[in-house]
Amino acid sequence: MENNYRKLMEEIVVPEGLEDRVLYAARRQKAEQVGPKHLARSHWKPVLRGAVCAACALALVLGTVHLRPAEKSGDQPGSTSVVALDYAFGLTAYAADTGETVTPNANGGLVLAASKGTEFAHTVLDQETAEHGKFTNYRFRVNGDGIRMVKLSIDRGGLYRRGAEGAPEPLGSSVTEPYDPAVSYGLWVPPEAFRPGGEKVNFDGAELQVTAVFNDGTERTERYLLTEEKLRAFQSEDGTMTLAPGLAGDEQADIPGLYAARMESRWLQWPVQDSRTVWKGNPYGIINGKLHSGIDIPADQGAVILAAADGTVTEVGFDRERGNYLVLDHGDGLTTMYAHCRNVDVKEGDAVKAGEMVAAVGSTGMSTGPHLHFEVRQDGEAQNPVTYFDSAIRDSLKAE
């Protein structure tokens, strides 16, 4: 145990004043947040528990981390997995009018508040615009613990900074600066875009890159694809309202905005071969006081239902409400469900590939006509399925 502990600690860069800071942090944390009770659930080898506790204490000082087993370099006799620190950060959308922040959905997508005047003219609108450009209301904050520096860049237009107090400051297309959790950043249109002959700035399709540098020098980067969207408000089970991309033909999807999707998000394939329609009268969200935990996709009786991603069939069954249904497990807590099927063509334990036929559209169970009821869940919690389809698929969908 002593050798393993020493080996792990030698791999960790220890900041100056660690002992005092660890003691201070430990006094402020409940024992169950870092103690063996939490570690036991992960089934790590007892010989490493002392080392893991030391890594947890270090994590309190350095920043937001996830503990995970490091990859083995080989199955050499006597080799042992160690625990690696996986730093994390995120973005929150900042509402310029209310000062509220909104966190991303489970698939990493983030809705930025609508901006007044997203259609930018080619001529100067006023003296302020001529001098400073346009500071849009598309604003966000970087959030996380133990962040020392932030690096931001965008491939069109520019960025600006705004502190808790004070005027917005143009930053150009990139910036590297010390991290301040009170600072929000926004999308900026330079004054050149408003001059005669100036090129109009369109943030649809822009790429935003954000890098967090932590106290020990570790860097993490996230890339976001921005798309202009008509957004819709959805009511959650706890009564809160969330925004997500809407669909063409949905009258309630009338809020202009930008949808920032992480490049590494887990995108699904569309599950019905011959339909690109979603019933707008029965979308995901609270309907008549009850959560409708999926979307309904009308299609002809017998239309092919496809696996939305690679996975394993974990459940096949029939019940009064869902009719014939199946559930696919895609790993890392992500599952999809397909209900009201005429028939199911796979059995429990089968491994399926994305795009493979798994069932046929029917009207079994509590159904008013042939359609697929499609659900997406992350760690057992229902998610809005629309946020799991990329912009190309979303653009092809309509609500009827």
Provide the angle, in degrees to the nearest 10, between the axes of the packed helices 18-28 and 49-62. Answer: 90
* Cβ-contact 308, 267 below 8 angstroms: no
Residue 75: pLDDT over 70: no
Q: Side chain identity at 354, as an amino acid letter?
A: A
% pLDDT > 70, the chain: 75
Query: Which has more confidence, 335 or 59?
Result: 335
Q: Is the confidence at residue 5, as pLDDT, over 50?
A: no
Residue matched to tokens 């005092």: 20
- Residue ranges and CATH numbers for the domains of the chain are 2-86 (no CATH), 90-231 (2.60.40), 267-399 (2.70.70.10)
Residue 19 structure tokens: 């002992």
Query: Would you say residue 246 has pLDDT above 60?
Result: yes
* pLDDT (0 to 100) of residue 363: 98
> In this predicted model, what pLDDT tens digit does every residue of 284-304 receive, in sequence order?
988 888 899 999 999 999 999
Contacts of residue 280, Cβ cutoff 8 Å, sequence gap at least 6: 247, 249, 250, 251, 252, 399, 400
Between the ranges 135-139, 163-167, 304-308, where is the mean pLDDT highest? 304-308
Tell me the C-alpha distance between 167 and 155, whole Å. 24
Q: How far apart, in whole angstroms, are the C-alpha atoms of residue 19 and residue 14?
A: 9
As a whole number, the mean pLDDT across the chain is: 82
Task: Give the dihedral sign, CA 311/317/323/324.
Answer: positive
**Could you give the 3-state DSSP secondary structure of residue 83?**
strand
DSSP assignments along 33-66, one per residue: HHSHHHHHTTT--GGGHHHHHHHHHHHHHH--EE
Which residues have CB under 8 Å from 191's CB, separation 6+?
124, 129, 130, 131, 132, 133
Q: Would the pLDDT of 367 be above 90?
A: yes
Phi-psi region of 298 (alpha: psi -120 to 50; beta: other; left: phi over 0): beta
Query: How many residues does this entry show for the chain?
Result: 400
